[in-house]
Amino acid sequence: MTKRRIEDIVYELARPIIDRKNFELVEIEYKKEGQDWFLRVYIDKEGGITIDDCQSVSEELSDLLDEADPIEQSYIFEVSSPGIDRPLKTDRDYRKNIGKPIEIKLFSPMNGKKVIEGILKGHTEAVVEIEVDGKPIDVEKSSIALIKPIVKF
């Protein structure tokens, strides 16, 4: 079974559990690292995810995964928070970060820079709107390798 198909099956199993708990399903990742395969489910909620939240989802989803058995090889299963500096992927991620500083890494330089830092002003399906040094800049999403919040501690 393909990696994408496994992620789709896990999504269908996880979605009802996560919705019932009023969490957000951020991402499902199935990948090989070294010799081991990992199945990771990233969840979030307003105010942040706790270890107990991860454990409750893990227990329920683990039972469903055992029952459905969509993965042939052995794997390590994890449920976790994506972290406060996670890449922006969903519309909700963008909305939560409007007015906040972000970092954009580009595939190719734009105006001589491959990394742009600015304030997120908005986004559309095709463009991220930021403000850099008081000037508005539109960055095509197709040119973005990574976009994430700038977190200062």
Predicted pLDDT at 11: 95
Tens digit of each residue's pLDDT (9 = 90 or more) over 79-136: 999 888 888 988 888 998 999 999 999 999 998 999 999 999 999 999 999 999 999 9
Predicted pLDDT at 85: 81
Confidence of residue 4 (pLDDT cuts 50, 70, 90): confident
- DSSP letters, 89-152, are -SHHHHHHTTTSEEEEEEEEEETTEEEEEEEEEEE-SSEEEEEETTEEEEEEGGGEEEEEE---
**pLDDT of 142 strictly over 90:** yes
The structural domains of the chain, ordered by start, are 3-80 (3.30.300.70), 91-149 (2.30.30.100)
Candidates 108, 146, 152, 109; CA nearest to 128 is 146
Under a CB-based contact definition with an 8 Å cutoff, are residues 73 and 6 in contact? Answer: no
Predicted pLDDT at 136: 96
Round the average pLDDT of the chain to a whole number and report it. 93
Predicted pLDDT at 3: 86
Predicted pLDDT at 90: 82
List Cβ neighbours of 107 (8 Å cut-off, separation of 6 or more): 143, 144, 145
